[in-house]
Amino acid sequence: MSNKRLPEAGVPKAVLARRAQRRRYYWDNKALCQAQVRRRRYGITSQEYDKIYVAQKGCCAICGVHQSDHTRALNVDYDHATDDVRGLLCGGCNSGIGRLQDSAELCMKAAEYLQRHADRR
């Protein structure tokens, strides 16, 4: 038998009950909770998110794949220096530019690198 503790081990029942209550509330009010997070993190309303979504035709601003082809909603992409919202991205593209430090120069270098190696095929 494993000696690992369960995550709930030693946690008071009241705390576990409150966690379960919060989870239920989130799933019962998912759209409202997501709107509150967008407002708090990015300063945009649901209407502003929807306006961007419609302008992008429901597709990622980088790869152009529609949200319905992804498992999650499109992420709000924003400039970390100015906090200005730039658009909506799929998780992969959002992670990609994040790993490239939101640097246009690094993204261009990565594209050049890929192009150099694509020419060798």
pLDDT digits (tens, 9 = 90+) for 41-72: 999 999 999 999 999 999 999 999 999 999 99
Question: What span, in angstroms and rounded, lies between the C-alpha atoms of 116 and 66?
Answer: 29
Nearest C-alpha neighbor of 87 from the set 95, 72, 75: 75
Region 17-40: what's the mean pLDDT?
Answer: 94
Q: Give, in words, the CATH class of 45-118.
A: alpha beta
Question: What span, in angstroms and rounded, lies between the C-alpha atoms of 60 and 55?
Answer: 11
Banded pLDDT at 94 (limits 50, 70, 90): very high
Q: Where are the domains of the chain?
A: 45-118
**What pTM does this model have?**
0.76
